[in-house]
Amino acid sequence: MSAKETIQNTVDTNDVVLFMKGTKSAPQCGFSSKVAGILNFMCLEYTDVNVLADDEIRQGIKEFSDWPTIPQLYIKGEFVGGCDIVIEMTLSGELDQAFVDKGVAFDAEKAEQIRAANG
């Protein structure tokens, strides 16, 4: 299976996927740590893909999304964005709405706590 096929399969078969440097329990860059921290704090079930473990996936995800940086968040097959976009969407409530619209369970109270702490 090619990197593109592997990425497509991962995005298609998981509700929420974070392509990141490291893992959700041990991020290996600050940007990946921020996004994983948000998702973890919101008690979200998601699949993490460590791009450092596979150079073809690391390069392939950039081509797949036409987005040059990592991390990259996908919800129900749809590319959401990278670190800055996820933070912005979290603070505005747009990320909550995306989860609600796509039927993805998360802790809305925790999302409100993030906004309260950063407002």
Residue 77: its pLDDT value, please? Answer: 96
- Per-residue pLDDT reduced to its tens digit, 3-61: 999 999 999 999 999 999 999 999 999 999 999 999 999 999 999 999 999 999 999 99
pTM of the full structure: 0.96
| Nearest-5° Cα angle at 89, 83 to 91 | 105
The topology (CATH level 3) of 3-118 is Glutaredoxin (3.40.30)
Percent over 70 (pLDDT), the chain: 100
Do residues 50 and 42 lie in contact, with contact meaning Cβ atoms separated by under 8 Å? Answer: no
> Rg of the chain over CA atoms, in angstroms?
14
Cα 68 to Cα 91: distance, rounded to the nearest angstrom: 23
Residue 47: its pLDDT value, please? Answer: 98
